[in-house]
Amino acid sequence: MPELPEVETVRRGLAPAMEGAVIAEARVNRPDLRWPFPKGMATRLTGTRVLGLRRRSKYILADLDSGETLLIHLGMSGRMLVSGDPLGQFIHDHPAPEKHDHVVLDMDNGARITFNDPRRFGAMDLLATVGSDTHPLLASIGPEPLGNGFNEDYLIAALANRNTPMKSALLDQKTIAGLGNIYVCEALFRSKIHPTRPARRVSKTRVSGLVPIIRTVLNDAIDAGGSSLRDFKQADGELGYFQHSFDVYGREDEPCRSPGCTSTIRRIVQSGRSTFYCPTCQR
């Protein structure tokens, strides 16, 4: 599933084609994805102007001049692809329709936004812009790791009484928004914290040091266009490249990249997810 860097990469890719433009025509080609589309979604979208695109955790939010916000979740295999952008950001002509093109937005500037999702685990919803942070999908999400609300004091307090493993604590969306398996593994490696260590047993100094490391990992991934492992592509159809910089994720039995370390990367399963770490560097 795309994590924060992939979703942010898609948001940035959509912005030049969508922000300030009017949805000249919206087409919804099926009644549902993960859950049913809102009633009359195509009609409610058609003719509205996109005031801005923002991201909350792993959701893209398009604020419309109708007073509604289009919520988009990519799911496991969802892609938002742009074609025909007159600004020259995207060189692709409009492609022929594909089987899994579930929602198509033709913008008045000539761009076309296509939501393609073969597995149909993605989702879209329309909600009132005012008070959108109280939507059930958004209300209980923790602070954004790239925002001011995520700082050393916050993380120390959030983890102080948690007996769960550090890996699980950081994956909890109520603790930190948008972090997923890949980037938690990478951040824990850079911070030299063992993924199974109970959160409350990690010193305040080490927890404080984790905050800038998480931010650096996420920003590095965004700069690389995210990580393409299976289905993820950027809005222009290109792949992300951060997977070539993984220190531990997906590198089971490969040598640790820390200078002087002779260990190999190990994999364990935590809560049904693979965790990759170095048994020597991470304690």
| Residues 209-263: tens digit of each pLDDT | 999 999 999 998 888 766 544 444 445 555 444 555 789 999 999 999 999 999 9
CATH topology of domain 4-134: N-terminal domain of MutM-like DNA repair proteins (3.20.190)
Task: Name the 3-class secondary structure at 15.
Answer: helix
Q: Is the dihedral of CA 187, 190, 195, 201 positive or negative?
A: negative
The residue from 34, 266, 267, 273 that is catalytic is 273
For residue 232, the model assigns a pLDDT of 41
| Confidence label for 94 from pLDDT (cuts 50, 70 and 90) | confident
**Separation between Cα atoms, residue 238 and residue 224, nearest integer Å:** 11
CATH topology of domain 152-277: Helicase, Ruva Protein; domain 3 (1.10.8)
**Separation between Cα atoms, residue 264 and residue 194, nearest integer Å:** 15
Percent of the chain with pLDDT over 70: 89
The residue from 2, 5, 145, 195 that is catalytic is 2
The residue from 3, 6, 8, 186 that is catalytic is 3
Where exactly are the structural domains of the chain? 4-134, 152-277
| Confidence label for 271 from pLDDT (cuts 50, 70 and 90) | confident
User: Rounded to two decimals, what is the model's pTM?
Assistant: 0.88
**Separation between Cα atoms, residue 236 and residue 242, nearest integer Å:** 17
**Separation between Cα atoms, residue 67 and residue 123, nearest integer Å:** 20
Per the annotation, the verdict on 25 as an active-site residue is no
For residue 170, pLDDT over 80 is answered with yes
Per the annotation, the verdict on 58 as an active-site residue is yes
Per the annotation, the verdict on 68 as an active-site residue is no
Residue range 41-67: mean pLDDT, rounded: 97
For residue 259, the model assigns a pLDDT of 95
The reply to whether 4-134 and 152-277 are identical in fold is no
Residue range 75-96: mean pLDDT, rounded: 73
Contact 36, 126 (CB under 8 A): no
Name residue 242's beta-bridge partners: none
Residue range 3-22: mean pLDDT, rounded: 92
Lowest pLDDT segment from 128-137, 145-154, 215-224, 234-243: 234-243
For residue 87, the model assigns a pLDDT of 56
**Separation between Cα atoms, residue 116 and residue 106, nearest integer Å:** 14
Residue range 22-33: mean pLDDT, rounded: 97
Q: What is the mean pLDDT of the chain?
A: 90
Residue range 60-76: mean pLDDT, rounded: 96
The residue from 11, 56, 58, 251 that is catalytic is 58
Burial class (CB in 10 A: 0-12, 13-18, 19+), 139: exposed
